[in-house]
Structure 1
């Protein structure tokens, strides 16, 4: 929809604007009026000059005829020639002729037609008539001949030339001043139209923040007031929808006391993490319980108990913030759970022991002088293990820790943990980045309308002695070790090279949370995409929703910079970042990709289905496309298609394959 509006406005750019049309019409009318006035004035003066020439010729012929008839002897050729010369030299005549009754010329003078000031082209253009006057020459009753006089129009042409110049200058001055005044007036009166056009363009991109403040005529003022009112109404509608979506997410996903993930939400996301074939990765689940919380509640009251739970939740939120892609939730009472994807068991145990010490300090301070303890049970998520088995193993570890009475944690399935340590991970990832030992894999994103290919999602895999490591296995560790930017650089280089080799394909990549907050990486990313030219229009760049939470200013700047160079940007892992939905109003995203934890078992999860449907509705109202990941079954695909999703991706729709295949 947004693309359609963009194309419409692009087509309208080739059409004439209203202000230009008004200026052209009015200025054309003004030019016609001034030209008509010039032509009319010129014609009247030309006729006046022509009449003057006629009178001048008639007066000259009459005077000469009378002189020849009475003053001198008209029959004397010498006397007649003298008179004709005197008349010709004293007046402005083109010719003076004295012709006998037999038709023979007795005396005459002539001169060439020319003007003193008027140029020759003007004389040819004006072409004044040459009036000819005649008078009879008689002696008594005897007719001696006639005098024929033609006035010289040279001075008339000069006068006409000067008048024409004056008229032309006046027309140009008046016309120029009129056009300038017209331009200023039209621009002033129609100034609200340009702001209305900008507002309409913003509406086409689902941006309702623009308001028209310029005042003009009564009619335009009413239009702008109506447009502003409509923008206010749409803005309130969007804000209300965003708050509704946020409220639904909290009701369905958050514990009302602590703000952590609710039991059902945590289990749903945990299931998506460990059961999705592509994302499944070894990790550690920790189950933490405050011992004696029931006694604390009875001693201090429920309100104080809730306050304790909120402080514990704050510490858990800080812990997950320090460990990218980890998440926490509250199960029942004072029992909490934390999942660390891709974490080695030994390192996770050290981290959890420090966390338990922190929680024990909070609990001890608030519950003094009561005896308190914080216990934790850890279980390793092995490939193929189910959620129930993992939770049962963590519960076994929790009971083992409780038997020791003192605060601490116990690890179940420790012997089954054959994963790399953090140092081994560091060596492996740093070596892969340095050598460029990274393979590019693709997975299709298909449209629900006709099953056509929307784009390929590109991600990386790293070879290891145990086989190719999936992105879900090493990306969480790379985030913790601060190496994700190097991996994203390699992925970007491979994707741009592939776009150059395959001009008919569209690809999508997802950036790491730490990469978005890395100034150097963002500068390198923009520089590489700028050099890529038109290829960037075929590359979707995903910004994790968590990055919008942890690096809000940098993420906003990066999104605007990417859109400015023509890169379509989407929100990745939408729904898990805990960010208000209003960022779609402030940032020019072209799409969102719903996290697979909301898609898993969507056919049997009515709360998630209602939430996804609401997200699709509000996103489409902003012209934002919606994609789904983790579609693993036909039932899930059928539901997302019925809800109106724009594209879906998952093992049910297409398995990943190597880009070189």
Structure 2
């Protein structure tokens, strides 16, 4: 059953490809009729046609020996050719179980041969077919001729659709022509190592700003100037292609020395930017891909160039070479983005674990931080450090926080019912602070699960607050007014300042683990942490240290009057069931230690 929806989807995609070409129900064309006549003459048969497979009919773009424009699709052999994208030969309709009683079979047709008309994307549009009223076989040279004529028909279809393959603005061959030439290269020189180059004139947001200030005509001038300069630099014997609005591609000569060519590109790009009048406004970049035509499809060559350009923008010289490793990492990130939505709707992929927070003066557990974990059905466990930053910059950022918040608040309520009055800490992203209804949704979650506001603490990073400080401040003030505790997470790594701290209605400061882990390095590092704790206390904040991994670090922080701590020294993030047993054992240990001290 699962194959039926898949076949229906592929058929809809095939029909969409056919409709996009705007061929159905168009007038006859001599360019197609010439090919159809040639097919009839080569086979010495009375009937030939260019037959397109519509939803419920076979429509003839060109026909010889046929009076009508179409026939029903049901039991039409051209439909089988379109669906299979393969040649079909029926030597004798009368002997064929499928087609003997078809419309063609009942009308006296005895022989059929059809070659598929297939788009570059692999969609079968129909067939170039020949038919006869006598049974016969097909010779090898006839089969070759039929396939060649079908390819000519397909080339004519694409030519009519695209008028040609030249961009009217730049006068250069288009992306489709680039892909076709790559396909030809694969046929003629399949094992030759080649080097492709993509030049991207600017980031999209820069082009948008440039157009807004200077006008769209100036962007057109920029593209035309770039096209002329690239043609001059590449040479008249090599093609430059206009592959996107502000992107150009070309192939280096087959005999270039790769390292030398890469250095020449880098030096040439640097010089061109220095000479350019727009060099300070627009950031161009160059991507390079080394490939063998037999091993990389044309679309993949272009995609590898896009990937290389993106990598180039992270390099100092703005020139990047395609890296399969970097590309795989990007594709993995993209897959995580795609799969996180379904993970939210599933009931067996996402779960929370909880890391205890310890009061350093008493040793008791006073809270826990809720942390999200993802068991991907194909990739296995995905580290939060990998997927959380990706999702935080996606449309699923708010949904991720809502998922964690709802389950964390519910768990805090269950702990409270078991006699454990812990503060539950939940991380909040910058996207949440931009939600106009965020504070209301948090209060709704508290009411839904019957948890007091002071039992919830929301952690927000300095960088998240500073993305839109005024909007963040309004949201945080609304949350604080509702009685919800607020914590500044990763303190010391962002925009820390006295003025910043004074304007944020927070209750807790969490010192980032990068500072805590350097406590053993020397007095200077210890003085820095001590000052951070002292400053926070003077401003009225409770201080939590993250990343405590040793007893020595815990002792040092206790001596500095740090209030709370969390880290592997006390406990790793724990599953719900493990947390409950850990909590019982930890309380027994601290009660025993308190009794001994008394």
TM over 0.5: no
- Larger helix share, 1 or 2: 1
TM norm structure 1: 0.38
TM-score by length of 2: 0.42
More relative contact order in 1 or in 2 (CA 8 Å, sep 6+)? 1
